[in-house]
């Protein structure tokens, strides 16, 4: 268990060393807890969150719903292009379903 957590944190640090959000292309950050999925669109230059959403549950259907919802909220704030930050999680399951739904909703990354 501890080894898996350490690996996730090291992946997260490696990703965050490269991925930076700006005003023109903010960062789409995903955090997956034990019970929920948290998503934020962040402008790292200004240091503020532009859009955020939290799910209740974290199954595949909820990932798809969250992807469509966050894309709609982003379009409402005239955000079309983002940098995807998967937060150290592997790109499969709920994270992949979320990303595919966000792309279908109109976000480009």
Q: Which of 17, 21, 56 is nearest to 40 (CA)?
A: 21
* Per-residue confidence (pLDDT) for residue 109, from 0 to 100: 93
pTM of the model: 0.85
* Domain positions in the chain: 2-104
Per-residue pLDDT tens digits of the chain, which is 109 residues long: 678 889 889 988 888 888 888 888 999 999 999 899 999 999 999 999 999 999 988 899 999 999 999 999 999 999 999 999 998 888 999 999 999 999 999 999 9
- β-pairing verdict for 48-54 and 27-32: unpaired
Tokens matching residue 105: 């909703």
C-alpha distances in angstroms, 58 versus 6, 62, 81, 82? 22, 6, 25, 22
CATH number of 2-104: 3.30.420.100
| Helix H or strand E segment including 50 | strand 48-54
Instruction: Tell me how long the chain is.
Output: 109
Cβ neighbours for 1, distance < 8 A, ≥ 6 positions apart:
none
């Amino acid at each position: 268990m501890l080894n898996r957590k350490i690996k996730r944190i090291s992946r997260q640090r490696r990703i965050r060393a490269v991925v930076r959000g700006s005003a023109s292309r903010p960062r789409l950050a995903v955090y997956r807890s034990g019970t929920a999925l948290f998503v934020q669109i962040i402008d790292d230059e200004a240091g503020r969150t532009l859009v955020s959403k939290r799910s209740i549950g974290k199954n595949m259907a909820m990932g798809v719903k969250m992807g469509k919802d966050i894309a709609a909220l982003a379009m409402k704030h005239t955000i079309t292009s983002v940098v995807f930050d998967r937060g150290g999680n592997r790109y499969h399951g709920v994270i992949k379903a979320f990303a595919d739904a966000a792309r279908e909703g109109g976000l480009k990354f």
